[in-house]
Copies of this chain bind each other. A is one copy, B any other.
Amino acid sequence: MKSVTDYLWFNTSKAREFVNITGQVEELVRRSGIVEGCVLVSAMPITAGVYVNDAESGLIADIEEWLEHLAPYRPGYRHHATGESNGDAHLKSLLVHHQVVVPITRGKPDLGPWQQVYYAEFDGRRRKRVVLKAMGE
């Protein structure tokens, strides 16, 4: 089994931001030379998510509004007793999940025609990392 690991760094200028990282995933798969296998794409902070969906700006705004509705930014989370103010970001991370596994088939990410891989930052303006690990043969 071949395995290649890479890390993507983010430091978004906004508190919340959705970054399309499909190109970086494709690049790692190409570089790995893996023909059959998968690549794990996993956020390392606990206030961010990784998901697969559409690269359509209206939908991305819908997702942001929806997450805000279900896991609102507000005072009063118990977690804020630690000095943080990002309780909502932890809940948003749980809601969209923090990772995806992208299959690799015939040397390429085996994604549907509209599937794009997104890093979802919910508590930006800090340095954050995503680990990419391609595994296969």
Contact = CB atoms under 8 A, between A and B. Distances in A.
A44 B90 contact: no
A45 B113 CA distance: 8
Contact of A52 (B98, B111, B129): B98
Interface in A54-113: 54, 56-59, 61-63, 66, 70-71, 77-82, 87, 90-91, 93-101, 103, 105, 110-112
B90 A54 contact: yes
A40 B135 CA distance: 13
Interface residues of A, number: 57
A111 B1 contact: no
Contact of A87 (B42, B45, B59): B59
A92 to B, nearest CB: 10
A11 interface: no
A29 B12 CA distance: 33
Contacts of A25: none
B96 A94 contact: yes
A105 B58 contact: no
Contacts of A77: 58-59, 62
Interface of A: 1, 3, 5, 36-38, 40, 42-46, 51-54, 56-59, 61-63, 66, 70-71, 77-82, 87, 90-91, 93-101, 103, 105, 110-112, 114-115, 129, 131, 133, 135-137
